[in-house]
Structure 1
Amino acid sequence: MVENNPFLSKEFSGVWMKHFGESQEIEAPNFINPVKFIKHAKLPVKQNIGSTLTKGIGYQKSKPEKMEINGTYLLYDIPSYFNNETAESKKIGFLSTKQYPGYLIELTAFANYQEYLQKTFSKSSRYKLNKYKKRLEECFDIRYQMIWGTVEIEAYEKIFDTFKNLLEKRFDDKEVYNNNLDPKEWNFYKEVVYPLLLEKKAGLFVIYDEENPIGITLNYFSDTIIFDAITVFDIDYAKFHLGSVTIMKILEWGWEHHFKIFDFSKGHYEYKTRWATQKYDFEYHIYYDRDSIKSKMTANCIKQFYELKQQLRDRKLNERLHKLTYLLKKNKKEKEKTLDYSFSNLESEIIPDHLEELNPKKLVNKHLKTIAFDFLYLNNECMKNLRIYKSDQKEIDYLLIGNQRQIGVKINIH
């Protein structure tokens, strides 16, 4: 049983009920605890409070003199590594179905972050990871912060609004629907995270470029586990591998604060397989009344229904559905033009006194911003030293000047 599971807290449960279970009667059955249930909106079962918006709940078997069950109960997202004691008995039936895969890092298997890195990644991979972080910090004015504990509500709301904007930008670029951005779901997250954050049951890890958040990760916390919930970064900085830098910094923070597990949560992504030390399963648990034919049939139908859904996920049909949902929900955008550009070394230094200068921090042109960031990354230049000019020569369109070199840029958008 996970101690102080944030998804079973009164803060999480109370806000979830306000958004998804208002006016519903809450039931606390006597065969397991501390999970509570309400009637499912669509299926003929009772579902756990939190539904699929938790990142993993656990429970323990109750031991009253007489365990009773009234109907069919569905528990979502039970991580197999929680090792729950099931409440199966002569009266109570139990079924489970494997759903999403999960991935985690056992922090206690290593003395610190450096030992983990040494034992998990090859020398060349470690070099690349350290290079990403170093290059990011050399090119921009970077700082990191885990917002965890006291924070003013105005500052919190400002960061959460940026969080949403970055997610929209990210998934518009991918042209994929993200259910986190559904207004009802997003409003739940925005309301629930703040009280949990004050109790140190949630945190927002932020990467800043000067005072501008460019990477944000929502984490939840039990006494021993960091749950990675939602991560986003500004796609303009994609060259700098903010995803890897975020994981590195949160892991360092996790060891410093004596957590035992970093849980990447549900879903298979290639990066999780590289970082994780253990794979596990998310399971749905179903309890039913053995003496009720209706309850038994319902339980078996629910199990088959979710196993079918998992088979469809295995065939990647959910990914196609997310793309289709995006197209249905969003107005069809004009097809993004392809950027083709080349850097050219200059035969002689150009004195730009007569050229129009552009502010690198206020570039409206998305393509030019991409080019500028590539210039910084490839030449190990710093943003504060960068100057950009419109060229008056046919050979190049722009002139980029850093602290160490100047380069011409020719752009072809088609």
Structure 2
Amino acid sequence: MIHKLFFNKNSHLIFDLFLNKTISSLYNGKVSNALTQRNYTTKNLIDSDFKSIYITKDIPNYFTFTPKDANTKFKEVLQYNGYLLNLSGYTNATDFINSTLNKRNRKNLNSKTNRLHENHNISSQVFFGSIDKQEYDRIFEDFYKLLNARFKKKKMYNRYLPNWNDLQASTFQKIQDRNASLHVIYDNSNPIAITLNFHLNDIVFSHIQTYDMNYSKYNMGDISMVHHIEWLINNHISIFDLSMGKTYYKEKWSNHTYHFFYHIFYNKRSIISRLSARVIALELKLLQFLRNKNIIGKLFMFDKLIYTYKSKVVKQ
């Protein structure tokens, strides 16, 4: 891909913002949320000085960002959909579930939840603001094992597993500082569903979630979601962002679909820079066209190809 091969100056805004409270220095640091009318200020900016091309990826369109320099030029390119739960106006989980899920899904959810609690000793806990380091390390060890096993079964590459030690090292303090949380469902003392979320005021970003495949028959993702909604509403959270990636699960639970954009910054004084921005924009539009036609993401899945390639390399 042209923009990855030749233009490596880029940032993923949604991950920078939620995980590290940073955005590109090409923006003025002020962020507006169109859904909740809240404004945020990010003090930590990523140095994004550029001479030719700089690409800001994965910008949710419910956020508004203003370039620091009014004369800075960029092309805005529409990409994939994102999914979120807008919890504004709901006072309890039951009201949200009744307004979002159809009768059949609600009946199935209640049945699976009842069976899970009848057959197992289920409890749950949210770690937000404090967590014992020993328990934290134990949860992350189980987290890795469950996530690794699930993606091995799916025969898909997971981008988080290779850098798991870095994620584990950086997240502990973020939980203490209330910038991240771990939602854990236990059977006795064993974690069977774990979700890592990151927090930005009235928004919670669902970063990684997994579950024990031995409990697949209970639809653990749905049961975990109910636990999340109850906690989020009780803690006055307005938005639960499930991010990108079209799945049946996200479409079922989301009551708001948004769009991601790319911003391609270019030097308006440079002909090469302007032409490069145009070519990259065309490439990104083509890729999205192929996604819309289910050629990329269904017929042609990069994560499966990467998994197959890495598996062959390991065997050699």
Task: Call closer, same or farther: CA 1:285–1:165 in 2, change over 3 Å.
Answer: same
Asked whether the equivalents of residues 13 and 56 of structure 2 are also in contact (C-alpha less than 8 Å), the reply is: yes
CA-CA distance at 1:240 after TM superposition: 0.9
Asked whether the equivalents of residues 58 and 84 of structure 1 are also in contact (C-alpha less than 8 Å), the reply is: no
1:145 and 2:125 correspond? yes
The whole-number CA distance in structure 2 between the counterparts of 1:310 and 1:73 is 20
The AA in structure 2 aligned to 1:176 is M
The whole-number CA distance in structure 2 between the counterparts of 1:321 and 1:77 is 18
Task: Call closer, same or farther: CA 1:43–1:62 in 2, change over 3 Å.
Answer: same
Task: Call closer, same or farther: CA 1:189–1:51 in 2, change over 3 Å.
Answer: farther
1:84 and 2:71 correspond? no
CA-CA distance at 1:163 after TM superposition: 0.7
* SS of match in other structure, 1:98: strand
The whole-number CA distance in structure 2 between the counterparts of 1:98 and 1:325 is 26
The whole-number CA distance in structure 1 between the counterparts of 2:218 and 2:125 is 18
CA-CA distance at 1:324 after TM superposition: 2.7
Task: List aligned pairs for 1:19-38, cutoff 5 A.
Answer: none
Task: Call closer, same or farther: CA 1:42–1:257 in 2, change over 3 Å.
Answer: same
* SS of match in other structure, 1:84: strand
**Out of 259, 280, 286, which is 2:237 matched to?**
259
Cα deviation digits, residues 270-310 of structure 1 (max 9, x gap): 11111111100111112222122232223223323333333
CA-CA distance at 1:92 after TM superposition: 2.0
The AA in structure 2 aligned to 1:317 is I
The whole-number CA distance in structure 1 between the counterparts of 2:111 and 2:218 is 9
Gaps of 5+ in 2: 31-48
* SS of match in other structure, 1:74: strand
Task: Call closer, same or farther: CA 1:286–1:212 in 2, change over 3 Å.
Answer: same
TM-score by length of 1: 0.63
The whole-number CA distance in structure 2 between the counterparts of 1:318 and 1:168 is 21
Task: List aligned pairs for 1:56-205, cutoff 5 A.
Answer: 61=28, 70-86=51-67, 89=70, 91-181=71-161, 183=162, 185-205=163-183
Cα deviation digits, residues 317-337 of structure 1 (max 9, x gap): 3453322322222269xxxxx
Asked whether the equivalents of residues 44 and 298 of structure 1 are also in contact (C-alpha less than 8 Å), the reply is: no
Give the equivalent residue in structure 2 for 1:232.
210
Give the equivalent residue in structure 2 for 1:372.
none
Asked whether the equivalents of residues 206 and 217 of structure 1 are also in contact (C-alpha less than 8 Å), the reply is: yes
1:283 and 2:246 correspond? no
* SS of match in other structure, 1:78: strand
CA-CA distance at 1:74 after TM superposition: 1.5
The whole-number CA distance in structure 2 between the counterparts of 1:69 and 1:328 is 34
Give the equivalent residue in structure 1 for 2:291.
313
Give the equivalent residue in structure 2 for 1:412.
none
Task: Call closer, same or farther: CA 1:114–1:321 in 2, change over 3 Å.
Answer: same
* SS of match in other structure, 2:62: helix
The whole-number CA distance in structure 2 between the counterparts of 1:51 and 1:276 is 21
The AA in structure 1 aligned to 2:196 is L
Gaps of 5+ in 1: 1-39, 333-414
Cα deviation digits, residues 376-411 of structure 1 (max 9, x gap): xxxxxxxxxxxxxxxxxxxxxxxxxxxxxxxxxxxx
Give the equivalent residue in structure 2 for 1:214.
192
More relative contact order, 1 or 2 (CA 8 Å, 6+ apart): 2
Taking only aligned residues, the RMSD between alpha carbons, in angstroms, comes to 2.7
* SS of match in other structure, 1:85: strand
1:329 and 2:310 correspond? yes
Task: Call closer, same or farther: CA 1:43–1:201 in 2, change over 3 Å.
Answer: farther
The whole-number CA distance in structure 2 between the counterparts of 1:210 and 1:46 is 48
Asked whether the equivalents of residues 226 and 263 of structure 1 are also in contact (C-alpha less than 8 Å), the reply is: yes
CA-CA distance at 1:261 after TM superposition: 0.6
Give the equivalent residue in structure 2 for 1:294.
272
Task: Call closer, same or farther: CA 1:326–1:46 in 2, change over 3 Å.
Answer: closer
Identical counterparts, % of pairs: 33
**Out of 47, 61, 72, which is 2:10 matched to?**
47
The whole-number CA distance in structure 2 between the counterparts of 1:166 and 1:208 is 13
* Structure with greater strand percent: 2
- Tell me the matched-pair count: 285
Asked whether the equivalents of residues 55 and 265 of structure 1 are also in contact (C-alpha less than 8 Å), the reply is: no
Larger radius of gyration: 1
* SS of match in other structure, 1:178: coil
